[in-house]
Amino acid sequence: MSSLRALALLTALTLAPASAMAAPEESVAGVTYVFTAVDAYTAGAGHLVITGVLQGESTPRTIFFDAPAYDGSEANRCDRLALLAMTRPGRFHFSWFKEYPGAYPTCTLTRQ
């Protein structure tokens, strides 16, 4: 193995875990996030973290959605929609919108 190849392999192995462990981006209130593919999601008390490809992009991103009022039926609905988008990649668009901080989120699933 050439030294250049070995260096490239070492660099790839070193940088991959760092990017995988990166903290999720914070969402911005008033912006609609439309995911064309959902790779993973985590629902927690007062938040939802989604990893997926946003419309118009080709690289997956992980975004933290803060929703202090996110519980009960709203949480169940968003969970189901994210799961459906995850099981059928490329078939649905999953979107998340929160008008202002502290507002109830709106989740939408749209067939492509």
Mean pLDDT of 22-31: 90
**For tokens 């749209």, what's the residue?**
110
CATH number of 24-111: 2.40.50
Cβ atoms of 94 and 80 within 8 Å: the answer is no
What digits encode the pLDDT tens for the residues 86-107?
Answer: 998 889 999 999 888 878 788 8
> Which pair of tokens denotes residue 20?
């995988």
Please give the C-alpha separations between residue 68 and each of 24, 30, 72, 99, in angstroms, as whole numbers.
Answer: 17, 16, 12, 13
| Low-confidence winner among 3-7, 54-58, 98-102 (lowest mean pLDDT) | 3-7
State residue 16's pLDDT score: 46
State residue 28's pLDDT score: 92
